[in-house]
Structure 1
């Protein structure tokens, strides 16, 4: 960040830290930092502010001192590898949505970005399209909507933006009509778009 402030560069970096717990008797723990990772995030914030402050008016207008904090976890998707004798008819209701219940739309977005090879450092803008939250990644390269009750209006608006990738949740579609017309909408407005449904 300091070099970027000095020469207007756009260097990026990756840091890795295990969430090692802090000692309950330490000053860091008393200050609210329950693990080393939390201390690291605060250090980066403070360093960024200081670099920007020290550079003052000479700092490039687009100096990026922000960061994303990601954590490794297991898949966002429920395991669906069952044999007939392992499942009963009643169990079928738990398979209506294939995404684990504790996952956020951001969790799904980053999994999709990894799956599609989209850089995790890509710019992400959140837009509202026809009343639904849509992630616009890398200036329209990837558009993703994981809200529920997605209507044809939302699908059409996204298709008209002609993204390279368009991603939705399988359980997102408001009704069978939207699910049935999904591909036809894209064929009409953006046939080149690669469509993916989680």
Structure 2
């Protein structure tokens, strides 16, 4: 069974970002079939945990469970509201505490919500470069939903369906990721000691 994790960085309840996240999750599940588990995580529920991690360098148990879901997922759906022409601070703070190896080469569907269509380029000038920097594999179609899209959303539905199909295909064809544990093959203490005495 494959797994897809949807992250929603919406701040309000109810949230248009969560609404978009749910529609994307449903579309991905429809493309993947019953053999795919799709989980949704609301970052607002972990805002304090994320801040504590940034301040202390350690994830508490609640946040560690979310980070383990990120690591174990075969694909990700990342959704953020647009604030000041970019992703939200909560979204970026979460990305800052994620182990880059957890998303390396992993298929990712990018999505954002905002008040007007003029913010739609945030997907290409902010979100895509961020995930490319982490060496994730964003699918070609990103989904932006402005306030006007919720009234007559035929075009939004088409984008959701296309993006979900791309993520489903990427997850199915993704080669198995092999994670290496640096503690599996430690450097012998004698060698470390020799290296320090050589100077």
Name the TM-score, length of structure 2 as normaliser: 0.27
The structure with the greater share of residues assigned to helix is 2
RCO (CA 8 Å, sep 6+): is it higher in 1 or 2?
Answer: 2
Structure whose alpha-carbon radius of gyration is higher? 1
The structure with the greater share of residues assigned to strand is 2
Name the TM-score, length of structure 1 as normaliser: 0.27
